[in-house]
Structure 1
Amino acid sequence: MKILKRILTIFMVTAMIIVTLTDCSKKAVSTSSDQEKPVKVAVFLIDFTDKYISLVRENLENIQKENEGKVEFTFYDGKSDKAIQNEQIDKVLEEGTDLILLNLVSYRDREAVQTVINKIKATNIPVILFNREPLDKQAVQSYSKGYFVGTDAKEAGVLQGEILINAWNTNKESIDKNRDNIMQYVMLEGERNNIEAIERTKYSVSTIQQAGIKTEELELKFADWNTELAQNATEPLFLKYGDKIEVIIANNDAMAIGAIQALQKYGYNKGDKTKTIEIVGIDAIPEAQDLIRKGFMGGTVIQDAPAMAKALYTVGMNLVYNRNPLDGTEYKFDDTGVAIRIPYKEYISE
């Protein structure tokens, strides 16, 4: 009898061990399976045709290739239309995603920004606004899973100013065509009431003035960050002022390229120093770098698209996995507590 009880006891213990191990194995397989699912990221872009944003998209695509099975980006073209982007956001929120990266069309409208943040907050999905900086950060600050990744527009303007200071000091005879010791310039500004544009404009000029160089603004034109609009704005200005325009300061490379295209119709900025107007931009897109190497453009400021994409990916994955947002980065939050600033660098011909 004792032997029978012992056999039964051994049998029951063995069965319990098998059940436990099987259950653990199932859980392990389930956990492994969950971890193997890629993080789904919805990336809302202002416009697929924007040259800098296209570079950010390209770098995010490269990150996905380098991290196969870990992340899956889906890109949405806002076509610079608030209604289109809002519809896209609503659809994604309804279908679900793990993370949202948002290059917001309506960033200037405080109420619109807050409305979008409130919608996302209701779903508890982490969101990172990027590149287009809201007029104030209160909407972003109102959501514990909301952040902003961008740049310091003042820094971009300062670097543009420094490029022109150096050009003036080393090549003044070519730039100061009327020999009046004043830098006459045209400003191509991105948008009205755009923080980034206003700061770039302000600090590019103030930096030049602080270096003791007198300036005179001939005209300021808004060209909506667009090559064609900048070309259309520059051509009549050149016909009006001609050689009196010594410098063109563009808030981005797309507009700088448009200005160059306008000038080249009249034989300017094709390599002849006597028929060159000094032009600077911001972004360091490949087309601008090529123009600088050829001597058709004076310089630009690198807005680091690979660094932007990497920051979005790293911070985003930290948010998805409930880690400190800054883990694995070299960044710190600014005084808002929610914004990360990626530094600029100058780009000139060697």
Structure 2
Amino acid sequence: MIKGKKILNILSLIIISTLIVGCGNSGSLKSKKEIRIGVTLYREDDVFISTISDNLEEIVKENESNYDFKIFLEFVDAKGSTLNQGNQIDKFINQDYDAICVNLVDRTAAATIIDKAKSADIPLIFFNREPVEEDMNRWNKVYYVGAQAEQSARLQADIVSEQWISNKELYDKNKDGIIQYVMLEGEPGHQDALIRTEYCIKSLNEKGIQLEKLADDSANWQSDQANSKMTQWIKEFGNNIEVVFSNNDVMALGAMYAINSNSDLIKKPIVVGIDGIKESMESIKAGEMTGTVISDANAQAEAIFDIAIDVAQGGSLENISDMENGKYKKLPHTKVTIDNVDEYLK
């Protein structure tokens, strides 16, 4: 009888051990009837962010039939408020969502968000606004999707250098061989804004082009703020402005509006942006903006979707290519000028 009990105990241990090993396999995907993904946007009215969210929604519709579960995607607008975003994330956590995608209002809030998600064991995918490395390393289920910010700045510099060298008689208004420029910067402290501002100038210096900064200021990614600042700079510097650098297309378009509204400008400056939104392409086609750098919103949306669906099922991103350090998915850019804009205006 005692011997029989020992056999039963051994069998029980084997079964329990098998179950534990099976559950602990991080590469296996959990079977679910529905995957729920929460997406919180820093501002829904940001043109580039809304393009990402629109593409993400379309990707879900196109791909849901490929899975044996339903995909529920909920978008919420933080309206630029850290408090709103914190409450939205709390709601996703309390309702036991399978993954949360965050377009941060404030990068300094990332650590708190990560700690909350970690406590609930809900994977996080940050996008467009990158937390600092220290925060990204707080947990192994934190990921980031964005663009290669330095590359975008260097491509923007390429557009300017090509125009400056080939059309120097047109753009070197005072014939001093030096680019006099103004810089429209994104939101203060935003990682991409800092990198874009630094590296477009650094890249031109590396090419041997001299520059003189007339003015720079943040327009917070907004067209109306850029229009206001550009109007003021035109009053202050007039035809001395030879290049307008803008950290994004929306601000570049705001600057273009100010330029087009001012009849005192004899020669229009070079105006370059970043993002590749439709309106900037149309402006380039019309001969207004000089160029932009495409940050592929659809490719970013696809990456967000692929990562979110995988980690929501308990996956380990084995099938996601080009992940840096298992956490970062950074996508390349393409420069656009009048020479190739038709390829992208379809």
TM-score range, shorter chain: 0.7 to 0.9
Instruction: Give 1:140's aligned amino acid.
Output: M
Pick from 330, 335, 348 the counterpart of residue 321 of structure 2. Answer: 330
Which residue of the partner structure matches residue 217 of structure 1? Answer: 213
Pick from 120, 127, 140 the counterpart of residue 123 of structure 1. Answer: 120
Mean Cα deviation higher: 36-45 or 233-242: 36-45
Take 2:272 and 2:322, find their aligned partners in 1: how far apart are those partners? 28
Structure 1 residue 65, shift from structure 2 partner: 1.4
Pick from 109, 113, 116 the counterpart of residue 110 of structure 2. Answer: 113
**Structural mapping, 1:182-221, within 5 Å:** 182-221=178-217
Structure 1, residues 312-336: CA drift from partner, whole Å, max 9, x if none?
A: 1111112122333251x431315xx
| Change beyond 3 A, Cα 1:209–1:326 | farther
Take 2:64 and 2:93, find their aligned partners in 1: how far apart are those partners? 24
Which residue of the partner structure matches residue 41 of structure 1? Answer: 37
Structure 1, residues 245-301: CA drift from partner, whole Å, max 9, x if none?
A: 0000000011101101111111489xxxx6321100000011101001111000011
When Rg is computed on C-alpha atoms for both structures, the one with the higher figure is 1
Which residue of the partner structure matches residue 245 of structure 1? Answer: 241
**Structural mapping, 1:154-173, within 5 Å:** 154-173=150-169
Say whether 1:293 aligns with 2:259: no
Q: Would the aligned equivalents of 2:32 and 2:313 in 1 still touch at CA under 8 Å?
A: no
Q: Would the aligned equivalents of 2:31 and 2:313 in 1 still touch at CA under 8 Å?
A: no
Q: TM-score, normalised by structure 1?
A: 0.84
- Secondary structure at the aligned position of 1:330 is classed as coil
Pick from 136, 158, 169 the counterpart of residue 140 of structure 1. Answer: 136
Q: Would the aligned equivalents of 1:316 and 1:325 in 2 still touch at CA under 8 Å?
A: no
Which residue of the partner structure matches residue 8 of structure 1? Answer: none
Instruction: Give 2:235's aligned amino acid.
Output: L
Structure 1 residue 77, shift from structure 2 partner: 0.2
| Change beyond 3 A, Cα 1:68–1:267 | farther
Q: Would the aligned equivalents of 1:197 and 1:251 in 2 still touch at CA under 8 Å?
A: yes
Mean Cα deviation higher: 187-196 or 292-301: 187-196
Query: Which runs of 5 or more structure 2 residues have no equivalent in the other structure?
Result: 1-29, 340-346
Take 2:311 and 2:318, find their aligned partners in 1: how far apart are those partners? 9
Instruction: Give 1:159's aligned amino acid.
Output: L
Take 1:44 and 1:129, find their aligned partners in 2: how far apart are those partners? 10
Pick from 163, 167, 174 the counterpart of residue 170 of structure 2. Answer: 174
**Structural mapping, 1:239-278, within 5 Å:** 239-267=235-263, 275-278=267-270
- What number of residue pairs does the alignment pair up? 306
Which residue of the partner structure matches residue 51 of structure 2? Answer: 55
Which residue of the partner structure matches residue 231 of structure 2? Answer: 235
Take 1:345 and 1:210, find their aligned partners in 2: how far apart are those partners? 20
Pick from 335, 338, 348 the counterpart of residue 337 of structure 2. Answer: 348
Name the structure, 1 or 2, with higher relative contact order (CA <8 Å, separation 6+): 2
Structure 1 residue 35, shift from structure 2 partner: 5.7
Q: Would the aligned equivalents of 1:282 and 1:302 in 2 still touch at CA under 8 Å?
A: yes
Say whether 1:321 aligns with 2:310: no
Q: Would the aligned equivalents of 2:252 and 2:272 in 1 still touch at CA under 8 Å?
A: yes
Query: Which runs of 5 or more structure 1 residues have no equivalent in the other structure?
Result: 1-33
Q: Would the aligned equivalents of 1:267 and 1:275 in 2 still touch at CA under 8 Å?
A: no
Q: Would the aligned equivalents of 2:55 and 2:298 in 1 still touch at CA under 8 Å?
A: yes
- Secondary structure at the aligned position of 1:97 is classed as coil
Superposition RMSD on alpha carbons, in Å?
1.7
Take 1:101 and 1:85, find their aligned partners in 2: how far apart are those partners? 11
Instruction: Give 1:48's aligned amino acid.
Output: E
Structure 1 residue 71, shift from structure 2 partner: 2.1
